[in-house]
Structure 1
């Protein structure tokens, strides 16, 4: 039956959010949850049309896109009682909840709720599921599972699948862990040696359980040695063999889907031993569906505080979202945008050029040497990120200006504003006891957390601690610091968010966004995403990476200087589209490595030009064009200027990402799901729908590129490619493979500017002939809330006409330079019906390109430029 927009069937409840997105909730005690969660802030919109009825003992819900079936009175959702048929593909999905651990089945340890130093890991073989649990190396480290469907009170068997080889303690010996059952101490696990960390064994102990749902934990308790990896656990009747693991699905603590995973995400790329690194699965899968498990995510209060989910006692509880997008992958991302909240639109300047360096720059050096060099060489810069040397008394965790480098901090901040620069300061999440601001911070918090070595940290989910933390930021905010680079990791110093249902990354990233929004800015965080770092392991919590899409510019960490890393970064950014993540930021040129080989440096800067954020950074390394005299430096200057020129286009893509959930860099399969090659050429991507980027990521200057269906024209040379096909494209350092699809429209700023704050009064519009096309250029104030305008730009191929729609509120008068590629020479060019003199336009026969520059045109009227005979 329908109740207030929900479909209720016994202890099961369903909410149709969109035709391809349905909430699934099971509450064995009938206590359903209507409050928002930290993830799901977009529920409650008007539901689409759907029908529901009962047939053959099954509750059926039909939308325009899928049919969901649940067997009535059959208990919590499982593969046996729940299915969804996708009407567009005919596939039938059988989703599972990773949080639901049922009697007599294998329950993956990595999908449990970890505490302490315990976290998911993937660096050994032979495990089942998506990984295993590692980090059981300190007192209190544990994994907990709610085990449901216990048939009756009595004695049962807990079996743990583990590996125990020589560990961090340097020993190769039998180890121990403890159990906790429903809050009471249980039997100790004795874990004999296995031959390697890739070899798994099982051990069983008897436990006493209640009927229904019980909480079972494996923990490193008092007197336990730990240093054991746990793959999975199972609760069975005594003497029953270990059950077979589920192999048809891939599940993680935050969701489950088929094994045809597309793309993925990772918390960071810090110092990997090798690339490609293992990525965590996102939303998208070739089978066309996914189950986002929101069961354990914290509830979000109106004041932005969080509380854990209420207990359901011995009754089972599940809460999740079924995505059934079929092959319309963009639809899946749009549904995610609806559910989690819009992808954050960064300030317009953030899509320009960033620079930072781990180096002790002084105020004087910034003013008298560094910025003048940017200006004299015509190198744009929008953001200046000041690394850790600004701090005092500790360069790591000080909360005061280092007056030896910055004798007049307010003067420095005033100067950066005069120069049109936004400023971010590096921050680490701890404070020393000898810091002049420690006493006040400690008092506000009601007592900070000591690391035992003279430093203190915060529990951000404690409101007093969070207030203490941001009180330290406010003096700098008042001086003009625009945002904060949450460097290193959120919890390495002990800072955490202890409330259940979030990870430290999830919580603090949202808090930084809220902190900036409260000042009237576009709120965003600049840091890592989706978990925390515990004991050197990047941990991904049950809440997943979803919330960061609406609040974070992802910093991917300290990367090595290698061709392999360059190639992986080119793949990594569009891969993260599968988790709906758009604002990804790499250290362009890499963090490590002093002076790079010329070719590697130039190609890395080219990649940054067509990334969501272009941020040059290093550890005392050379990352600026004048560090590389000759062709490499010339190339870097050219592409940094191109990046600045691209801001109007990139900013429009960012606004599209915020509106639709489809990110700036787009894997090929989003647009070409019926082309097998779109799934196998992850080294290239679309920058918007009609610009193909195939970065050169190996020495030699060539790349083998897959050309999607249609006609594509080289942005730099006018060379035409017809797809679907494969082509080897060779480029000098002055160019990279960038192709524009027929009908594609690419607007860029015509004139050089130092930064994105300059008025957009001259615009170049590149068009590739061969098909009709349109582009909606988005403009606003770039930072604070205010009016926005959209200028429609269209190309009609049959009549060879470009139109610019009226856009009241845009630049009052704007000069347009139109370049149309892949056309014959025209006999005449007209503007708004008036023929232009031959001196107003030109034709390049080699690239088959027409170029015409108009006089300033008003934004209040529609304009048309037509080529006759072309």
Structure 2
């Protein structure tokens, strides 16, 4: 199903609205080479910094950095009197001490917006320093963990419980061949086996076996000790591995590893100046971050992996260990530099221009994926053994009768047989004729995704064929077999399991991949399992002519309930994955955290985030909590109702909550023109759909509210109703803002409390803001083209909005329509559609819903007087036109 596979390969099509191949390496331009250091000026706020002692610099694209052909950037460079190479752009000044070796915090610096930046490469570990284990290459089932205290760095490494698990660090700057002291900081306490005994691990030094390690017990898992041994190393850079061999007991946590001269008596101090992870480092003043998933936390999470955005205005993305992406779609390991140090990174210096940083990231790593238009409507799934009859005779008729829209039907794991968890066949007792069922979903305008867990049971009818094609799969210790996606034959065999379903009409796959869902992996440490398999899913769909994406967790893997971030981070999944945030708890506290979480992930450039709306856990929610979850979902990138056998549909709740949920699900469907345009903008600029307040108003990091595009502030209510209403505290930015539902006006800057009954929530429209919505109700986006559009405008300032439209699927032509509000003239101009695509509406009726307005004396459409209405309570004028040509401009004047 892939174009080609090789080594750890998967085919790669990068989704930025059209299917893109990985380009051949572009000519390196805007380059300054100074001895063993090379600098590439990509933008005024982004410089690639590369150090190669052997002067073998890398020009090929990598899995992360797929584009370095930025717009030419003016810069100047010189050598200063004190021996520094200096590079200046309009946004930053970079300095490197010439001939001083690999980049460190002492020889590489940057000044941006008046701040001094001293970056450090997580992949670079000098002799005499503590190499954080979580920043090494993680082997086998080793994983980054955060659930104990007193560790150094951002975390520690756990999961060293099976042969092959461990950590590799590259120690540079060894002055001469000879003996050195190897020290390991570890914790070893009573484990699940009930033992509190000395454990053992093995070492490997470059390609040779090193001494064994004996690790006595520590007081607890929160207390750390060090163990020392003597090792023989080469001059230069050495690969040092600590891992569990088949004869070792393992079951220890490793905090850091250090190589020092043999006569060193103390353990090197940790560098606490940066927040460092395997894929990058930056200041500790983070503005949000990302998590692989939010599965089953005991409490609201307190840690996120850092993104590129922070208050100090700079970040180093470390791409040193990321595999190469060749022009023919082959993923391969970087060439070895032997004992010569090598570093490759991207130094962002953006100050407070956070949008510029996200734009740089978007250009470098590929545009965040534009999903099918229908994906921005309403999704429904439930962990429940539905049958064909349930869907056709009960569930969908209720949706239709209640006028609740539905675009995507996600069928959870019970559709499978003989194993409901690890199977790859329809359960005939539930779906006696799958093709007929799939034809019915198509006729009803539904897109279907199936839930899969990436293992296969030994009694599955597909097992023998799959195992043979894979060349032999690994047994997980029970009756299920695992895939190693780094191995081409196993990846191909895994993907072949999907084809019969796709031939029947299945549109996408929900990869429910975690330790408890199936432990398939990618054994190559240069690519995380999530990174590799998510790209493979996106590529497969693209090859079928669809808009390819994966629907899954992102950025690493999870072993034994521990989330691991790999050397690559989440950057590739910005461009290929709809993030499933996992099995979330049902509580007010977690609803509050979910509001914060989506906006937090903007710091990593993640836009397409999908929560279980209503939460996965929790049976029948309190009416007010259910209604507030649905309101929150209305203004999220993806609105997907889901639960663990529980109630999440409007008719399953009381009259008031049910009516509220219906209203907001209808609003969500109506908002698709606005949301889809935001998604296209995210694809082009890197600025996500949901935006933390600081993106628009630097200095205002407010976890309870966010921007939904340029024009809306959304502040979901996350506490129970009191006396029939809930409330939220809202910071109103400078200017005039109008309540979307009531027409109430607010003048900022101000802090206000906005109360709302169950049928409303705090949503404010910026003066001059334009929010286009569908006027007509549709069951789903495939039901009809957009022939009736409402422009929701808040008077008080000039404004504009670019409405984006295309066929909604695949890759082809598109059209944009410019909507412009002239506040002085009190007129809305609807531009002629620029561009064309198959199925586009040739005419459209427009409704202007103008809030924050006085009563007009007359209204004209293209110079002709027309009827209108005015609501005194909401201060809203409503004007509706007849069908007008989309190929001509039009003007509504009041």
Normalised by the size of structure 2, how large is the TM-score? 0.94
Counterpart in the other structure of 2:162: 138
Matched, 1:843 2:870: yes
Task: Give the distance between the partners of 2:860 and 2:172, measured in 1 at CA.
Answer: 75
Question: SS of the counterpart of 1:242?
Answer: coil
User: Which residue is equivalent to 1:206?
Assistant: 230
Shift, 1:347, TM fit: 0.1
* 1:53 equivalent in alignment to 2:78: yes
Give the counterpart of 2:662 among 634, 637, 640.
637
Provide the secondary structure at the position in 2 that maps to 1:855.
strand
Instruction: Please give the per-residue CA displacement for 1:120-155, whole angstroms capped at 9, x wherever unaligned.
Output: 111112122111111222222111100000111111
Corresponding position of 2:693:
668
CA distance in 1, matches of 2:285, 2:436: 56
Task: Tell me what 1:750 maps to.
Answer: 775
Given candidates 403, 408, 418, the residue that maps to 2:428 is: 403
Is 1:705 paired with 2:735? Answer: no
Q: Does 1:79 align with 2:100?
A: no
Q: Does the 8 Å contact 1:685/1:692 carry over to 2?
A: yes
Q: Kindly state the Cα deviation for residue 636 of structure 1 after the two structures are TM-superposed.
A: 0.5
Q: When the two structures are aligned, how many residues end up with a matched partner?
A: 857
Displacement of 1:518 in angstroms is: 0.1
Pairing partner for 2:739 from 672, 691, 714: 714
Asked if structure 1 preserves the Cα contact closer than 8 Å seen for 2:28 and 2:59, the reply is no
Distance in structure 2 (CA, Å) of the matches to 1:706 and 1:227 = 49
In the TM superposition, 1:238-317 aligns within 5 A as 238-240=262-264, 241-317=266-342
What CA deviation, in whole Å up to 9, does each residue of 1:539-578 have, x standing for no partner?
1101111100000000011111111111111110010000
Distance (Å, rounded) in 1 between the aligned partners of 2:485 and 2:234: 36
CA distance in 2, matches of 1:488, 1:514: 18
Matched, 1:687 2:700: no
CA contact (8 A) 1:168 1:227 kept: no
Q: Distance in 1 between matches of 2:516 and 2:614?
A: 27
Give SS of 1:509's match.
Answer: helix
Question: Which residue of 2 is the match for residue 825 of structure 1?
Answer: 855
Contact 2:413 2:420 in 1 (8 A): yes
Residue 645 (structure 1) shift: 0.3
Q: Distance in 2 between matches of 1:176 and 1:430?
A: 31
Distance in 2 (alpha carbons) for counterparts of 1:743 and 1:215:
59
Q: Distance in 2 between matches of 1:227 and 1:497?
A: 22
Residue equivalent to 2:829 = 803
Match of 1:864 in 2: 891
- Is the 8 Å Cα contact of residues 308 and 500 (structure 1) preserved in structure 2? no
2: CA distance, partners of 1:533 / 1:305: 26
Question: 1:356-371 residue pairs with structure 2 within 5 A?
Answer: 356-371=381-396
Q: Distance in 1 between matches of 2:616 and 2:841?
A: 39
Q: Which residue of 2 aligns with 1:193?
A: 217
Q: Distance in 1 between matches of 2:681 and 2:754?
A: 30
Q: Is the 8 A contact 1:401 1:409 kept in 2?
A: yes
1:166 aligns with 2:187: no
Shift of 1:412: 0.6
What TM-score, normalized to structure 1? 0.97
User: Deviations 1:44-95 (Å, cap 9, x if unpaired)?
Assistant: 3453222222222222222221121111111111111111111xx1112111
CA shift for structure 1 position 827: 1.1
Deviates more, 1:501-510 or 1:47-56: 47-56
2:838 counterpart of 1:834: no
Q: Secondary structure at the match of 1:187?
A: coil
The one of 881, 886, 890 equivalent to 1:854 is 881
Task: Kindly state the Cα deviation for residue 458 of structure 1 after the two structures are TM-superposed.
Answer: 1.7
Shift of 1:383: 0.3
**Cα distance per residue 1:686-722 (max 9 Å; x no partner):** 0001200000011121111111222111101011112
- How has the CA–CA distance of structure 1 residues 14 and 199 changed in structure 2, closer, same or farther, with 3 Å as cutoff? same
String of CA shifts for 1:719-746, please: whole Å, max 9, x gaps.
Answer: 1112221111111000011110111111
Q: Deviations over 1:625-674 (max 9, x none)?
A: 0101310111100000000000000000000000000000000000001x
Matches of 1:397 and 1:187, distance apart in 2: 41
What is aligned with 2:797? 771
Q: In 2, distance between residues paired with 1:146 and 1:645?
A: 54
Q: Tell me, what secondary structure is at the counterpart of 2:217? A: coil
CA distance in 2, matches of 1:754, 1:51: 58
Which of residues 394, 401, 406 is equivalent to 2:419?
Answer: 394
Query: What's the offset of the Cα at 1:492?
Result: 5.4
CA distance in 2, matches of 1:426, 1:470: 14
574, 578, 602: which one pairs with 1:577? 602
Q: CA deviation at 1:491?
A: 9.0
* Deviation for aligned residue 1:830: 1.5
User: What's the CA shift string for 1:191-222, capped at 9, x where partnerless?
Assistant: 33332322222222221211111111111234
Contact 2:515 2:560 in 1 (8 A): no
Report the equivalent of 2:573. 548
**1:790 is matched with which residue: 801, 809, 816?**
816
Partners of 1:820 and 1:304 in 2: how far apart? Answer: 51
Aligned to 1:633, the other structure's residue is in SS state: helix
After alignment, is 29-38 or 259-268 more displaced? 29-38
The verdict on how the C-alpha distance between 1:171 and 1:439 changes in structure 2, with shifts beyond 3 A counting, is closer
User: Which of the numbers 99, 121, 124 marks the counterpart of 2:148?
Assistant: 124
- Is residue 230–residue 262 contact of structure 2 (8 Å, CA) maintained in 1? yes
SS of the aligned residue for 1:15 comes to strand
Aligned counterpart in structure 2 of residue 216 of structure 1, from 240, 250, 253: 240
Kindly indicate whether the alpha-carbon contact (under 8 Å) linking 2:538 and 2:550 is maintained by their aligned counterparts in 1. Answer: yes
| 2:720 corresponds to 1:696 | no
Question: CA separation in 1, counterparts of 2:335 and 2:415?
Answer: 45
Match of 1:493 among 514, 518, 528: 518
Distance 1:225 1:32 in 2: 41
Deviations 1:297-316 (A, max 9, x none): 11123343322222211110
